[in-house]
Structure 1
Amino acid sequence: MLGIIGAMDSEVQELKNEMPDAKITSVAGMDFYEGHIHDKDVVVVKCGIGKVNAAICTQILADRYKVDSVINTGVAGSLNSDIDICDIVISKDAIEHDMDVTALGYERGVIPDMDNSVFHSDSRLIDVAVKSIEEANLSVKVFTGRVVSGDQFIAGKEKKDDLVNTFAGDCAEMEGASIAHAAYVNNIPCLIIRAISDKADGSAEMDYPTFEKKAAANSIKILKQLIKNL
């Protein structure tokens, strides 16, 4: 069973439309669509915005649906000058950038009492995603990079530069690292796919509404091909 998580309707609705006979179960205010896409067992869910919603959702997928892998699809702001709007970032790893216990001597992003704070993506899922993007014939560039997540919409140069300098982030969003975190503690392979909706700078508020739908549509195209290839 493959678990697919998006934070917003635009990130998962088209996948739900591919499952007309889906069994829908509501848990913790989230609707889990269980069915088939390309003859593969999948469960698709909108988790809502933010790290807590995303982590709760991932744990439900682990406990109730016993998923054997999790893919998080959606949009993000670019932190890398080479990565433009509508380009694709496949996660090599993910970090929670708003984890800050520096007052107790930890580096930013380090989660106390955990053996790991950088959550690496599954190598097989990365390979399948790269192949799937090539086959989807999207006229965008593809990057494998670091996703940094926090409960903030990044829309200023100072914060953007901080995330680049501190974490070497390639894109910023609000769910991926918490999904990767929850998958890690449950020993579930995980991958984050992000289409760039804005540049996470002073133009972000203007760019995001314009490009969010187009970026999300690109993510959906990739995910459909990826499901077929798994």
Structure 2
Amino acid sequence: MRVLIVVATAGEAARLADLPARVVVSGVGPVAAALATARALAREPFDLAVNAGIGGAYPGSGLIPGDLAVSSVIVQADLGARDGEHFLDLAALGLSVLPDAPHAGLFPAWEGARALAERVGAACGPALTLNTVTGTVEGALALIRRFPSVLTEGMEGAGVAHAALLAGVPVLEVRGVSNPVGPRDRASWRIPEALMATRRGLEGLLGIG
């Protein structure tokens, strides 16, 4: 299986460079991730596009720093409109991320996601993509109300998923947990452990070890 791995930073890429896959650095955010993914998929064929990196875990997910999460669906969670205290997604607005079909920015993950999660000891559930990282308890709880089984938050997954959809390539998001979603407490972040978890998930995907 030919695998494209899209990461946000050069530091993440350096830890994955020896894997038997194409590793591409996109930059931060869904737009950068979509552009980098589209460019890579146009240059050579791949069987799977993977957004890999670290991310926050939502309260109630059961995940702690150093754990691993695999996406069952990738959601562009902040694309829509606010009507007072209410959030309206694209489906509610009658809009779409595609020019010719309804699509509210929910991208189903690769069919092998749950089997991979079981194999590597990861959780499997929704992965949210946001342009702005959630920094309050209230913000985290509002997203949990919209997506009750949500696991993680990142900034690139939906961009990779959108480009993969247009190219007809399955997509997956693999996130090592570095911190809880909510108030930013940098002292509690566990980035090395999160990066190790991400690598473990990718090694399981690629059949290493």
TM-score (norm 2): 0.84
Is residue 2:109 matched to residue 1:121?
Answer: yes
Paired residues for 1:169-188 under 5 Å:
169-188=150-169
Query: Whole-Å Cα distance in 2 between the matches of residues 102 and 153 of structure 1?
Result: 17
Aligned residue identity for 1:200: V
The match for 2:13 is: 12
Report the Cα offset of residue 102 of structure 1. 5.2
TM-score (norm 1): 0.76
Query: Whole-Å Cα distance in 1 between the matches of residues 12 and 106 of structure 2?
Result: 25
- Indicate conservation of the 8 Å contact 1:61/1:67, yes or no: no
Report the Cα offset of residue 173 of structure 1. 1.1
Query: Whole-Å Cα distance in 2 between the matches of residues 228 and 71 of structure 1?
Result: 15
Listed as ranges, the gaps of 5+ residues in structure 2 are none
Q: Which moved more, 1:106-115 or 1:169-178?
A: 106-115
Q: Which of 44, 64, 87 is equivalent to 1:65?
A: 44
Paired residues for 1:1-230 under 5 Å:
1-16=2-17, 18=18, 37=20, 42-81=21-60, 82-101=62-81, 107-108=88-89, 110=91, 112-113=95-96, 114=98, 115-116=102-103, 117-131=105-119, 133-134=120-121, 142-168=122-148, 169-208=150-189, 211-228=190-207
Classify 1:102/1:152 alpha carbon distance in 2 versus 1 (closer, same or farther; 3 Å): closer
- Indicate conservation of the 8 Å contact 2:65/2:193, yes or no: no
Report the Cα offset of residue 179 of structure 1. 1.1
The match for 1:27 is: none
Report the Cα offset of residue 203 of structure 1. 4.5
Report the Cα offset of residue 109 of structure 1. 5.4
- Indicate conservation of the 8 Å contact 2:59/2:181, yes or no: no
Query: Whole-Å Cα distance in 2 between the matches of residues 11 and 109 of structure 1?
Result: 32
- Indicate conservation of the 8 Å contact 2:59/2:140, yes or no: no
- Indicate conservation of the 8 Å contact 1:91/1:147, yes or no: yes
Give the aligned length: 196
Query: Whole-Å Cα distance in 2 between the matches of residues 161 and 6 of structure 1?
Result: 27
Report the Cα offset of residue 73 of structure 1. 1.1
Classify 1:177/1:109 alpha carbon distance in 2 versus 1 (closer, same or farther; 3 Å): farther
Deviation string 1:86-112 (CA, Å, 9 cap, x unpaired) is: 111110001111101356xx9325482
Classify 1:3/1:129 alpha carbon distance in 2 versus 1 (closer, same or farther; 3 Å): farther
Query: Whole-Å Cα distance in 2 between the matches of residues 126 and 162 of structure 1?
Result: 26
Listed as ranges, the gaps of 5+ residues in structure 1 are 20-36, 135-141
Query: Whole-Å Cα distance in 1 between the matches of residues 200 and 3 of structure 2?
Result: 17
